[in-house]
Structures are given as C-alpha cells and as structure tokens.
Amino acid sequence: MGEQGLALRPQVHLTAGRMFTPGTSEIVVGRAASRQFSNLTLGSTVHSGKMTWQVVGIFEARGSVAESELWCDAKVLQSVYQRGNSYQSVYLRLETIDSLQRLKDALTTDPRLNVTVIREPDYFAQQSQVMQAIIRYLGVGIAFLMGLGAVFGAVNTMYSAVAARTREIATLRALGFGSTPVVVSVLVEAVLLSLVGGLIGGLVAWAAFDGYQTATMNWQSFSQVAFAFQVTPRLLAWGLMGATVMGLLGGLLPAVRAARLPVVTALRQL
C-alpha cells in the first residue's frame, strides 16, 4: 500500500508494534494471519521473493478479511517482483455512498482503461463464493447426519418413556381422556427435552467456536484466507428451531403408540 493506505481504512488500528517505514522491507501483519501462520509474530522475518521482510507491527480490522493480509510498501513490492508500475487492484474511498455510479461511469467509459468497479464487500463476496459453498455444504451435510442420529435417539428415549408410563397412560384413558391429549402430552415432553438439549448444544457451540479462528485455501484466488467463526443469535435461533423439529419427529411415533395402547391391556399391569 501507499502512504494513504491507513487513511482509506479507518476501521484498522495497530495492536502491537508500529507501521512500516516507506521504502523499506518492513511489513505489518493482520491479527488472524499472525495467529495462524508461523514467523508472522512481531519482530520475526519472512523470506519472499528476493527479499527478507521484517514484521514490525500487528493490526486488527474488526474481524474483516484484511486481517489475513500482509501489508508493505507498494513500490518496494513492485521492484522485488518486477511488476513495474502496475497494480492488480486499487482501493478508493467515496465521498458519499451514492457516488459509486458516477465513478464507475467515468472509469469504464475511458478507452484507456480496462477495469472493473465494484464495492469491496461485493468483491470479497464474489471471491469467496466457492469457499463459502464448500464450508456450507460440509456443514449442512454433517448437521443432517447428526440430526438424523438425534431423531433416532429421541425415538428411542420416548419409546422408553412411554413404556415406563404405561399404567399412567392407561389410567388417564380409563378416566375419559382421549387419544389427542395423550399424543400432545408425549409430543410436548419430547419438544421440551429437545429444547433443553438444543440450549446446551448452543451454549457449548458458542463457548467453543465463537471467535475461533482458522485458515483455508480460497480456490478462486488461490490465496490463504484466515477467518473466524461467529455464533450469532440468529444461528442459535435456527439451532433451537432444528431441535424443536427433531423433537417433534422423534416423539411422533411413540406418541401414536401411546394413543393406540389398549386400555384393558395396560390396566392389567396395575
């Protein structure tokens, strides 16, 4: 980056060390990259190209993708990799949020330029589509298999509960309660148990994975990206909804069995 790099990124601030000195082989490292990779701590050196770079600072950027980047003087990097005066991407900060279209029209209509103008969040969203799809499909697949096992576990638990309460159910039926109250009572118990399990699982997931940082290869840009998991209230709500559905599915067959239990046969166990 150039001298205006930090001015374009007000969300960035140094947490250790200092900013690199222009014209030198010094670099500052994102917090996520520093935690995930070796030789990226403050004071360490990194060999890249024909240059040995020294880490003089660590920065954070509110958990954005910038925390997986290494920053140095653009002119020094160009000379090391013989890039001349060329740039792969240029960052601009708009005066107003609505001025993007004017900038886009001015640049794309200039016959001397061959550029794509896009907002930074949209750019990174496009660059990470493959990575997001892989993580999402793996997560959904694992969640489906674990949910299927949880449903079978709920079925087994509720069948055991119905078998242990055969006399109580028969007594209720003999007193005049119909099949519907019996089914509802078994389903309510199954849902309450599943919600307790969902709450415990959500708390464990939040404690273990909220803010957990890892890194993987971005198969679109072929660069290593460090990122952090976030267990948000929305995800916890989806988890509780899933637990409720699993409880209903797991308690349905035992509830039907309890409702169809012959009263005479059940009363014989009294």
Residue identified by tokens 């709920």 is 154
Q: Which among 143, 140, 147, 144 has a CA at the least distance from the CA of 248? A: 147
Element (H, E) at 75: helix 74-80
Q: Which residues of the chain have pLDDT under 70?
A: 215, 217-224, 226, 263-270
In sequence order, which ranges of 13-61 are alpha helices (DSSP H)?
A: 31-36
> CA–CA separation, 136 vs 36, rounded Å?
22
- Give pLDDT, residue 20: 93
Q: What 8-state DSSP symbol labels residue 66? A: G
Closest by CA to 37, choosing from 48, 25, 50, is: 48
pLDDT for 222 equals 62
Which pLDDT does position 129 carry in this prediction?
Answer: 78
pLDDT recorded at residue 267: 60
In which residue are the tokens 């709500």 written?
237
Query: What's the pLDDT score for residue 74?
Result: 92
Cβ neighbors of 251 (< 8 A, separation 6 or more) are 154, 155, 158, 186, 187, 189, 190, 191
Contact 226, 215 (CB under 8 A): yes
pTM: 0.62
Predicted local distance difference test score (pLDDT) of residue 164:
78
CA-CA distances (angstroms) from residue 62 to 59, 68, 95, 182?
Answer: 10, 12, 22, 52
Query: What pLDDT does 77 receive?
Result: 92
